[in-house]
Structure 1
Amino acid sequence: MLRQALILCALVAVAFGGTLRNSDFQSRIVGGAPAVEGQFPYQISLRTFPALGHFCGGSIISEHWTLSAAHCTINRTPANTRIVAGTILLNGGANPILREVSSIVNHPEYDSVNIAQDVCVVRVTVPFVWSPNVQPIRVGNEFIGGGVTAVVSGWGGILVTGGAAPNNLQWIAKQTITNADCRTRMGVNNERFVVDSKICTFTQAGQGICQGDSGGPLTAGGSVIGIVSWNIPCARGFPDGFDRVSHWNSWINDNARD
């Protein structure tokens, strides 16, 4: 039986048995629902500059800092990166907030082969101003086991086959599973991607991340507990993988200082 291709949540499918590539990073939520204004005030969109094309998601964690995945930003610079906040729409919206980027800090041990240490923080030049649509989220510091309901949000296609990215932010509630269960479900060919610093979710086939949600937040109890990292596209009955924020709590707080 052909082994499934694991890809980073920027999600363009990799050939069976292929090597994950930074160019493959874009993910989408399949089986989710449209968000409403103010539902995810911490959600951001990482954009190219000057085209302002969305390439990854992320979370506001303080006035100056956002949290995302290293595979989103490892080859980027502040000059060609922008952040959009305060809107649930990729294009349009009443009051989108555009910020220039002053620095990008990727985990120094980011491993593109095993998709490990997939965490970064990005600083904006002008601080965010809090409003109903722009708010920080707490950086989780408690270990989350299996059986917890968590929410993931992001932009992108909504079909298992991909499709056009919706303009409206999408979200879905998922169940966390233990890393042992995640390794079993991933199978012998892909279990190596489930390192201790990951957290996995799985509910059922037809629900999950796909191309374009990379770097986006997995949240529970008012905290961001995971960063969208990888999956087998798209919502085909395999777990979704996130970097475990509690594992990186100290690194995040040490590097996201004003």
Structure 2
Amino acid sequence: MVLKLVCLVLTLTISASASPETRIVGGTPTTIIEYPFVVSIEYLYSNANINIQRCVGSLISSWHVLTTAYCFTGANLDNVQVRVGSTTSLSGGNVVAIQDVIKHPDYQESPRAGDVAIVVLASPIGITDSVNIVYIPPQETYIPDGYPVEVVSWGFESEEGPQINELKKINSNTIPQAECQTVYEDSESVSIYDHVICAAADNTSMCNGDSGAPMIIGETLVGLSSYYASCDDSSPDVFTRIDRHTGWILEHAIPPTGAHKKKFSMTSLKLFVILALLSIASVSTAPEPRIVGGTPTTIQEFPYIVSIVYYYPGPQIFIQRCVGSLVSSFHVLTSGYCFTQAVISNMVVRAGSTDSMVGGTLRFISDVIKHPSYEETPRAGDIALAVLDSPLGITDTIGVLYIPPQDTFIPDGYQVKIVSWGFESASGPQLDTLKTVNMNKLPLEECQASYADSEAVEIADPVICAAAAGRSICLGDSGAPMVIGETLVGLSSYYDSCTDDKPDVFTRIDRYTNWILEVAASRVDGVDSVPYVKVADVTF
């Protein structure tokens, strides 16, 4: 889609570069003091010697601006500059040159997808009352449908203009992805999939000019304006979903070579990502589900449970990413989804600790074997075997869990226990101590009816669904074990919301027992005697 340029630009017949999309139609005036992370990305049209406000970005560190990759379509980076600390888009504040632009490797212009880019500034930005940094959410943050969001940008009063240089904001609401897919099902211009958020509100819309406008919840950046169909409220606006790219952002938003480390660390991603984990409201963390409700427990009660921790080398932080279960001294069973977009060498397993981030014993992961039927969307075959780099010794806080024989019968209505780290509620804060919750297995047909309209998960024989009043799997711990007695019968795989409105979905271990035994017996390099995975009947 080629964006309209303002009348002045048309009159001057500038053809060097089409200015990317989306300016706010409607909305109310605001100031940079309210949104000090918002920056104007300007483009110099050298043949006419004028600057045009081309896109919008958000400061995520003293060196880095997050915006859309589309912003730089046909652009000469030497002609791009960033204006910070100003309510007006083309005057005031401070102007900083751009050193580099890192586009996401999945970016494509048409149909629009992977529309995110990191701008590396030529010099770091100092923090003031009008210049500051926005939080980014942890990987795979849950954002409810119908949730209120704000979008901040410069823009047009209407599709015909004139352009308004003063900062504006609109209030909008997230909409279900299925609803957005229906609206755009005939479009060849944009891909509506898990990595975007759609939003809509009466009498407001994205329009001509500000690709990259931030969508925020509280103080956290959750989306970037990427695509619109028309400058009215007849169709939802499409935003790049930040939490689907958090890992990539953390890997690449590092100080430029030769940058002064002290300057960076004072206002770096490290500080703000940690704060987001502790305080982000109504949206939290990675990859999926943490227990809502439940009661505290200890590692002595469940010595087979392990925390799978991910290291982000850019900001040098560790985040508890998933949960696993020891099924031998060398092997951890967890979800395939745990390793989505993960660098295995950046992962460690913490065993023998009630706390997910301290204590116990650490092991690196030497190999990960995902089940060959694994699919992210719709979620299916969600199981993986992680091989440790060295064996764990058995103690009172480190033990091994049995797996059931192939095709074990588990009666409907039977009580199961889920063990995980987690949140007290959907709005957090995250708890580092272990919790347990009791649920009951549901008939498969009942679960299928609950998810009949879902394209996100496949409810078929290799899953178990479970539910309990006031209890749910929620944000953060993919792979959390479902146990009956001393036997692992399920792995947390998918949830619809952090409530008991719909059942939670678990990978059914007994449908994969033969596969587990086969791969576990052959995938420990340099070990003559591979430790056995133990099989035991489930005692009802």
User: Quick check: TM above 0.5?
Assistant: yes
TM-score where L is the length of structure 2 = 0.42
Q: Distance in 2 between matches of 1:152 and 1:246?
A: 17
- Could you tell me which of 39, 52, 55 is aligned with 1:44? 39
More displaced 10-residue stretch of structure 1: 121-130 or 43-52: 43-52
Q: How does 1:75-224 map to 2 (within 5 A)?
A: 75-93=74-92, 96-141=93-138, 142-159=141-158, 161-189=159-187, 193-204=191-202, 206-224=203-221
Per the alignment, residue 71 of structure 1 pairs with: 70
Q: 1:186·1:239 contact (CA, 8 Å) conserved in 2?
A: no
C-alpha deviation, 1:240, in angstroms = 0.3
Q: Secondary structure of the residue that 1:167 maps to in structure 2?
A: strand
Q: 2:21·2:207 contact (CA, 8 Å) conserved in 1?
A: yes
Q: 1:175·1:202 contact (CA, 8 Å) conserved in 2?
A: yes
Residue 27 of structure 2 corresponds to residue 28 of structure 1? no
Q: Secondary structure of the residue that 1:79 maps to in structure 2?
A: helix
Q: Distance in 1 between matches of 2:68 and 2:91?
A: 25
1:146 maps to a residue whose letter is D
Query: Runs of 5+ in structure 1 lacking a partner?
Result: 1-6, 13-21
Change (3 A) 1:88 1:74: same
Per the alignment, residue 56 of structure 1 pairs with: 55
Per the alignment, residue 335 of structure 2 pairs with: none
Q: How does 1:8-23 map to 2 (within 5 A)?
A: 23=18
Q: 2:53·2:89 contact (CA, 8 Å) conserved in 1?
A: yes
Q: 1:73·1:106 contact (CA, 8 Å) conserved in 2?
A: no
Per the alignment, residue 251 of structure 2 pairs with: 254
Q: 1:82·1:99 contact (CA, 8 Å) conserved in 2?
A: yes
1:216 maps to a residue whose letter is A
Per the alignment, residue 18 of structure 1 pairs with: none
Deviations 1:180-229 (A, max 9, x none): 1211233544696212110010122x211101120111000211000110
1:85 maps to a residue whose letter is V
C-alpha deviation, 1:108, in angstroms = 2.1
Q: Distance in 1 between matches of 2:43 and 2:32?
A: 24
1:166 maps to a residue whose letter is I
Q: Secondary structure of the residue that 2:56 maps to in structure 1?
A: strand
Q: Distance in 1 between matches of 2:27 and 2:188?
A: 25
Q: Distance in 2 between matches of 1:92 and 1:189?
A: 38
Q: Distance in 1 between matches of 2:243 and 2:252?
A: 15
C-alpha deviation, 1:144, in angstroms = 1.5
Q: Secondary structure of the residue that 2:207 maps to in structure 1?
A: strand
Change (3 A) 1:37 1:65: closer
Deviations 1:33-55 (A, max 9, x none): 11124011000111113633210
Change (3 A) 1:126 1:193: same
More displaced 10-residue stretch of structure 1: 51-60 or 128-137: 51-60
Larger relative contact order (Cα-Cα within 8 Å, sequence gap ≥ 6): 1
Change (3 A) 1:150 1:190: farther
Q: Distance in 2 between matches of 1:37 and 1:67?
A: 17
Q: Distance in 2 between matches of 1:211 and 1:79?
A: 24
Q: Distance in 2 between matches of 1:172 and 1:114?
A: 26
Q: Secondary structure of the residue that 2:182 maps to in structure 1?
A: helix
More displaced 10-residue stretch of structure 1: 35-44 or 139-148: 139-148
Q: Distance in 2 between matches of 1:113 and 1:90?
A: 28
Deviations 1:20-66 (A, max 9, x none): xx836222111101112401100011111363321000100000000
Q: Distance in 1 between matches of 2:209 and 2:176?
A: 25
Overall identity of the aligned pairs, in %: 26
Q: 1:119·1:243 contact (CA, 8 Å) conserved in 2?
A: yes
TM-score where L is the length of structure 1 = 0.86
Q: 2:190·2:227 contact (CA, 8 Å) conserved in 1?
A: no
Deviations 1:99-137 (A, max 9, x none): 011111111221111100000000111111001100000
Query: Radius of gyration: which is bigger?
Result: 2
Change (3 A) 1:192 1:135: closer
Q: Distance in 1 between matches of 2:142 and 2:112?
A: 20
Per the alignment, residue 233 of structure 2 pairs with: 236
Q: Distance in 1 between matches of 2:190 and 2:25?
A: 25
Q: Distance in 2 between matches of 1:148 and 1:190?
A: 28
Change (3 A) 1:110 1:145: same
Q: 2:199·2:237 contact (CA, 8 Å) conserved in 1?
A: yes
